[in-house]
Amino acid sequence: MDPITFSIIRHRLFRVIDEAVITLKHVSGSAITNEGHDLMVSLYRADGSLLMGGVGFLHHLTSAAEACKAVIRRFEGDIGEGDVFLTNCPYTAALHTSDIYLVAPIHHDGRLVAWSACFVHVYDIGAMVPGGFSPDSRDIFTEGFSSPGIKLVEGDTMRRDVMDTLLNMVRAPEMVALDLSSMIAANNVARERMVALIEKYGAEPVDEACAALVDQSETLFRKRLQELPDGRWEARQYFDIEGETCRVLLAMTKEGDELTFDFTGSSPQSHYGINCTYWASWGGFFAPLFPLLCYDITWNDGVLRPISMIAPEGSVVNCTRPAPVSLATVGAIQSVNNAACTCIAKMLSASEAYAKEATAVWHGSHFAIFMFGLNQRRQEAIGILTETFGGAGGARTWADGIDVGGEIPNPIGRMANVETTEATFPVRYLFRRARPDTGGPGRWRGGNGIEFALVQHDSPEGGINYVVSGKGTEFSMSEGLGGGYAGAPCAYRWVHNNRAREDGRNVNPFPTSLDEMTGEAETISWGVFPLKGDDALYVRSDGGGGFGDPLEREPARVQADVQAGAVSAEVAARVYGVVTTAGGVDEDATRARREALRQARLATPVAAE
C-alpha cells in the first residue's frame, strides 16, 4: 500500500473515534461522563483485537478487546448487522459492574469487518449502594446487575425486554437509559464512519491498512524496547482499607524487545471490593505504558504482542469469583497503574536517550466520592464528585508536576465547576483550591493536589448521603522518582456540627479552611455517611510524586513556591534547606542550612550495617 493512502486511512480511524466520543458526550447527561471523561471509545479488528485505541481511561482499551472476543465466542453464528452487545461482567472483561461495555459489530457487504466498543460508568447499576461503588459488598452478587454478554440491540432495533429488565434493576433508570443511549449513538457513529471509509477506499485496502497499522505498532514498539536497557525493576504499592493493608508488588523485566509484568507476591484477594480481575490488571499496566512508551505509536494490538503478565490467581490483582470488585478502578487497578508507571519510569531513567520521558507517579489515589439522595428539585440524584479526576501531576525529569494536573491513565480527565455540582446536588462548597505541601518534594516537585469542603444546602431531606471508598489515607501512593519524595496521602474529615458555638463565641458559618471549622473533625475513609444539618465534609487529595533530590532544587524556585503559596516556608527550610524571607532567599542561611542537612546525611548508617 502506498504510504499516503495508509496515512490517510490511519488518520481517518483517529477521526472516527473522535466523532464517536463527541457523540457519546452530546447524548450522555451525567457529569462523570461529560466532566470527568470517565469514558472510552475504541475500534477493534474483526477478531476483537485492538485496532485503534481511543481516549478516556486507557485501561479499558484492552479490556474492551476482551469484551469483543467474549461476545464473538458467546454469540458465534448470531452476530448480525446492527446488533449491539452488552457486557459488564468483571470476570469476563469489564473492570467493575458499573463500567458497561457496549460492543457493536461493523459489517460491510454482509461481512463482519470490525468492531466498535465504548464504555461509560453508568449512573447506577443496582449495587448495594447507589452509584456502584459498594464498600459494604462482600461478593460480586451484591454489586449489581452483571452480564457476561447479552444482545441489547438486534438489527438496529432495541430489544425492549432486555432493556427494560436492566432498567428494572437500577436506580434512576431514566439516567441509565440515557447512558446506554449515548453508547449506542457512539457506536452508530463509529459504524457509519467506518463504512464510509471502506466505501471510499475499498474493503480490502482498508483491511490491509488496518493489518499494516497493527504490524507497524509492533515493529515500532519492539524497536523502542530494543533501544532501552535490559533489566528488572521493582515497585511496591500499599493501600489501607478498614485496617487491612494490601500490597501490590510488581517486578518488570525487559529483555531485548519483550516486557514481562510479574505481580508475584501481591496480597491475597481482599474481603473488600478493591480487588481486580486478570484482565483489569492487564489493562492496568497498559494505561501508563501507552502514553509513556508509545506516545508516538498507534495504540493497538501490536503494542500488546511483546508483553506478558504473571498475576497470581486468588490475589488482589487476579481475584477469583465471587470476590467483590466494585471499587477495583480506584483500588487494585490504580495500584497497578502506579506500580507500572514507577517501573517504566525507572527503565526510562536508565537510558540517556529516554530519561527525559520519565515521570514520577501522578495522582496515585483516586478519592472517588459518590453522593446520593434527593436534590433541591426533589429528584433522585446520584453522582461522583468529579474533583477525583482533578488529579495532581507527577514531577518530570525536567519540570514540576502540574498542580491539580490530572493523571496518566486518563489524559482527558477533568473536574466540573463547583456550580455544576451545586446544581446537581443540594450542597454548597465552602472552598476549593490547590492544597499547599501535598506535592512530593524533589529537585522538581510533584504537583499539589486539591482540597475542598461541602455543606448541605436547600435539601428537602435536610441533607444528602455520600460514599467514601478511601484508600491512600495512610500511604502515599504517588511514588517519587530518582530521589524525589512521594506525594502526600489523601484525607477525609467528617466535621460534626460545624456551626457549633462554643464558649459563646460567634462562629463563622463560612470557614475557608479546615482549621477554621469549629466542629469535631472525625477521620473517615470507608463507608456511607450523611452530610446533614450543620455537618461538613472536608476532602484533601493526594499530591504527585517528586523527582530528584530536594536539596538540588534551585532556591529561587523554592522561594517562588513559597510566595505563590504552593509550599510552606517551614517545608522550604526543613525539607529543601532554603531559608526564605519576604525579600527573597537568604542565601547565606540557605547555604548553611543545606550544608548542615548534607552533613546529617553523612552521619546516617550504611544500610547493610
Partner 1 sequence: MSATRISATLAVNEDRAIACLACGHALGPAGAPWKEHARLDEQPMQGAGGAPYSNAERVLLRRFYCPGCSALLDTESALAGDPFLTDIVRV
Task: Examine residue 481 and tell whether it contacts partner 1 (CB under 8 A).
Answer: yes
Cell of 63: 479490556
Burial track 510-542 (b if 16+ CB lie within 10 A, e otherwise):
ebeebeebbbebeebbbebbbbeebbbbbbbbb
Which lies closer to partner 1 via its Cβ, residue 416 or residue 491?
491
Q: Are strands 463-469 and 526-532 parallel, antiparallel or unpaired?
A: antiparallel
> Binder to partner 1 among 248, 551, 562, 578 (CB under 8 A)?
551
Measured from the CB of residue 603, what is the shortest distance to partner 1 in angstroms? 8
Which residue is it, cell 471509509? 197
Cα gap 109→521, rounded to integer Å: 65
Task: Examine residue 257 and tell whether it contacts partner 1 (CB under 8 A).
Answer: no
Task: Examine residue 201 and tell whether it contacts partner 1 (CB under 8 A).
Answer: no
Measured from the CB of residue 273, what is the shortest distance to partner 1 in angstroms? 22
Task: Examine residue 356 and tell whether it contacts partner 1 (CB under 8 A).
Answer: no
Stretch that binds partner 1, among 39-47, 124-132, 279-287, 488-496 (CB under 8 A): 488-496
Which lies closer to partner 1 via its Cβ, residue 89 or residue 468?
468
Measured from the CB of residue 14, what is the shortest distance to partner 1 in angstroms? 34
Helix (H) or strand (E) holding 493: strand 491-496
Is 259 within 8 Å of 225 (Cβ atoms)? yes
Measured from the CB of residue 400, what is the shortest distance to partner 1 in angstroms? 15
Stretch that binds partner 1, among 24-32, 96-104, 269-277, 594-602 (CB under 8 A): 594-602
As beta bridge partners, residue 467 has 370, 528
Task: Examine residue 489 and tell whether it contacts partner 1 (CB under 8 A).
Answer: yes
Task: Examine residue 596 and tell whether it contacts partner 1 (CB under 8 A).
Answer: no
Stretch that binds partner 1, among 51-59, 149-157, 188-196, 595-603 (CB under 8 A): 595-603
Stretch that binds partner 1, among 2-10, 301-309, 367-375, 548-556 (CB under 8 A): 548-556
Classified as helix, coil or strand, 184 is helix
Helix (H) or strand (E) holding 371: strand 369-374
Classified as helix, coil or strand, 39 is strand
Task: Examine residue 4 and tell whether it contacts partner 1 (CB under 8 A).
Answer: no
Task: Examine residue 324 and tell whether it contacts partner 1 (CB under 8 A).
Answer: no
Cell of 462: 435536610
Stretch that binds partner 1, among 26-34, 126-134, 235-243, 269-277 (CB under 8 A): 235-243
Question: Which whole-number Å values give the CA distances from 298 to 75, 257, 343, in the listed order?
Answer: 29, 17, 22
Which lies closer to partner 1 via its Cβ, residue 4 or residue 607?
607
Task: Examine residue 48 and tell whether it contacts partner 1 (CB under 8 A).
Answer: no
> Binder to partner 1 among 355, 500, 560, 589 (CB under 8 A)?
355
| Length of the chain in terms of residues written | 609
Task: Examine residue 139 and tell whether it contacts partner 1 (CB under 8 A).
Answer: no
Cα gap 90→331, rounded to integer Å: 14
DSSP state of 527: E
Distance of CA 186 to the CA centre of its chain: 22
Task: Examine residue 397 and tell whether it contacts partner 1 (CB under 8 A).
Answer: yes
Beta strands in 525-605 (DSSP E): 526-532, 536-540, 580-581, 584-585
Q: Could you list the residues that contact partner 1 (CB under 8 A)?
A: 229-236, 238, 245, 346, 349-352, 355, 358, 397, 435-438, 440-441, 473-476, 479-486, 488-489, 491, 523, 540, 543, 547-551, 567-568, 570-571, 575, 598-599, 601-602, 604-608
